[in-house]
Amino acid sequence: MPASTAERKPNGGDALLSVPTQGRVFRAGRRVRLGDVDPAGRLRLDALARYLQDVSGDDSDDSGLPDAQAWVVRRTVVEQRRAAHLDEKLELATFCSGYGSRWAERRVSILGADGARVDAVTVWVHVDPATGRPRTLPAAFHDIYGSAAAGREVLARQVHEPVAPDDDGVETMAWRARSTDLDILDHVNNAVAWAVVEQVMARLLVAAGGERGGPDDVLAGSFRAEVEFRDAVERQVVHGDDDLVVAHRADGRGRVLTVWSPDGATVHQTAVLQLLGESTRP
Report domain extents, the chain. 1-157, 160-282
In this predicted structure, what is the pLDDT of residue 1? Answer: 39
Ranges of residues in the chain with a pLDDT under 50 are 1-3, 5-6, 279-282
Taking CA atoms, 218 is separated from 4, 73, 75, 279, in Å, by 40, 25, 22, 9
- Enter the CATH code of domain 160-282: 3.10.129.10
CB burial of 233-254 (b: ≥16 within 10 Å; e: otherwise) equals bbeebbeeeeebbbbbeeeeeb
- Enter the CATH code of domain 1-157: 3.10.129.10
Strands 89-99 and 26-31: antiparallel
Query: What is the spatial distance between Cα 95 and Cα 46, in angstroms, rounded to a whole number?
Result: 21
In this predicted structure, what is the pLDDT of residue 222? Answer: 97
In this predicted structure, what is the pLDDT of residue 2? Answer: 46
Task: Let me know if the fold of 1-157 is the same as that of 160-282.
Answer: yes
Taking CA atoms, 60 is separated from 54, 107, 129, in Å, by 10, 13, 15
Residue 34 DSSP symbol: G
In this predicted structure, what is the pLDDT of residue 70? Answer: 86
In this predicted structure, what is the pLDDT of residue 282? Answer: 34
Query: What is the spatial distance between Cα 252 and Cα 254, in angstroms, rounded to a whole number?
Result: 6
Backbone φ and ψ for 57, nearest 5 degrees, come out as: -65, -40
pLDDT digits (tens, 9 = 90+) for 256-281: 999 999 999 999 999 999 999 754 43
Residue 203 CB-half CA count within 13 A: 15
Backbone φ and ψ for 259, nearest 5 degrees, come out as: -105, 120
In this predicted structure, what is the pLDDT of residue 279? Answer: 44
